[in-house]
Structure 1
Amino acid sequence: MPFRLYKKAIKMTLREKRMFVIFTLIYTILIFSTSFFIEITLSSGSGLLTNYFILIFFFTSLVLSLLYAWLIVARNRRVWATLKCIGWTNGNINSLVTGIIIFTTILGFFIVIEVLLHYAAVVGYLQTANLLRNFPTTLISLTPVILTFGMFLIVQLIAIILANRKVLKVRPIIALKRVGQ
């Protein structure tokens, strides 16, 4: 049952292309930047400035996650009301919202992994061709990226809780308003 709902969540997410692309790119940049500063902190010791950047990116991701959850609920208020009218339970709608939020985050994570793999492949190739010297093959190791992804999932859980509370407040009567307009 949840797999079917998550599949519908992915379809709903891809239907709203502009918002999906914007938030996926923002999450990708935030995951990459946070991972980069965690890598700097782990490799060269804990610098105060890098710790500040990590906190700034963490709180930025929190604010953006809450904004994304709020936008999903606000833009689809009539959809949620219609689904409630045709018999969907609050749990089903909450699974749908959860799938939308998690899908965007996971896709941002995969984009970061893909960029890092391509970076390593290009730099490795150029080093074997003796075109680059003294250039790091790996920009960011996998550990900071996974740590950052874990932090982002925790932040997304907070956003999911907020979105689920907002979905519970949607009344089915909203779907019936302004039908003739």
Structure 2
Amino acid sequence: MRTDLRAGAEGSVRLFFLLAAGLIASPAGAVTTQSFQVSATIVPGCAVSTDSGATLGTLNFGTRSGVDRAQVSASFVPDGSLSIACTPGVALTMSIDGGRYYASVRQMQRAGGTERVGYRLYSSSSLAANSEIGVNQAVAVTYTNSNNIALPLFGVALLTGFSPTGTYSDQLTVTLSW
């Protein structure tokens, strides 16, 4: 019987020494250092925002006499809530449709009538022929501040001197591409 006790005691002592040796080899609170990779891919893009239901802005030729025979110019005035921002270096272009009353030239129509006044759009304040914006023609939008991009839109109303009184208007759709 003593042999059995002794054999059991020896096994316990061996187990104790193995556990003690393991604790000494890896002390409590040991720190293991590993690394992991963090990455992101940024793709070119733009953000265009306005208030809900707002328009991009207006091109207003002002109040004119019905007998004026002139070309009246105006600059696009963006809506106060319009914001255009792009990833730096993005090639931004805009195109503009013909509006509601296009017939060889964009036209504004008198409210409550059928009379029209023609107008042209330009991408430069010089109003040079080579900066005229054709229907659905892609026009480069250049910018220096990618967080505050302005649309280069200028217009000329073609007053003929035979326009009945009233408010003339048109609605255009601008498409921005990048």
Higher strand share: 2
- Structure number with greater CO (CA < 8 Å, separation at least 6) is 1
